[in-house]
Amino acid sequence: MKVFTAAALVLALGIGSAFAQGASVAFGGLQHDASLPVEITADELTVDQATGSAVFSGNVVAGQGEMRLSAARVQVEYATQNGQATGQINQLVATGGVTLVNGAEAAEAQRAVYAVGSGEIVMTGDVVLTQGVNALSGEKLTVDLNTGSGRMEGRVRTIFQTGGNN
């Protein structure tokens, strides 16, 4: 009976599709103002003026408002105009133990690309998202920080806590 009740709850909440190849999920805690300044700390910084990029390595933490992105390495790619870097960040490419935290939601992956202008983050490689006591995993997570909506793809698996007794 408890198995039937849990299955009925999953279907009633409309989350049965989370077991398929792709699932749309609400990421209210990841809604965020992408126009805020980005602050980055790291053990080391290497700048390449020719390519218009900077590479932060070693215990990197990039913060923007309440959102924190940590990784072993973050490459900052600057926007260009007429072949010259504008000084505005185009995107952050994070690799090596990537963790994204905002509020009660956290996501982990092997790689993340944050397009600052559009407010989109794409995390790939063994992605795990936790929302409170619930967890969701897959191969690719795309989050729109402006709307707080997202999509998990690639053999999605989820665990929802029902709050019931065993």
Residue 44 confidence (pLDDT) above 90:
yes
Residue 3 or residue 99, greater confidence: 99
Please state, rounded to an integer, the average pLDDT across all residues of the chain: 80
- Residue 158 makes CB contacts below 8 A (sequence gap 6+) with 15, 18, 19, 23, 134, 135, 136, 137
Mean pLDDT check: name the lowest of 11-15, 50-54, 57-61, 162-166: 11-15
| 130-to-29, 108, 125 alpha-carbon distances in Å | 11, 9, 16
Residue 27 confidence (pLDDT) above 70:
no
What three-state secondary structure class fits 46?
Answer: strand
- According to CATH, the superfamily of the domain at 2-159 is Lipopolysaccharide (LPS) transport protein A like domain (2.60.450.10)
Q: End-to-end distance of the chain based on CA atoms, in angstroms?
A: 11
Residue 85 confidence (pLDDT) above 80:
no
pLDDT digits (tens, 9 = 90+) for 137-147: 999 999 998 88
What three-state secondary structure class fits 85?
Answer: strand
pLDDT band at 89 (very low <50, low <70, confident <90, very high): confident
pLDDT band at 132 (very low <50, low <70, confident <90, very high): confident
Mean pLDDT check: name the lowest of 7-11, 88-92, 100-104, 138-142: 7-11
- Residue 1 makes CB contacts below 8 A (sequence gap 6+) with none
Rounded mean pLDDT, 91-115: 94
Residue 17 confidence (pLDDT) above 60:
no
Q: Please report, as a single letter, which amino acid is at residue 87.
A: G
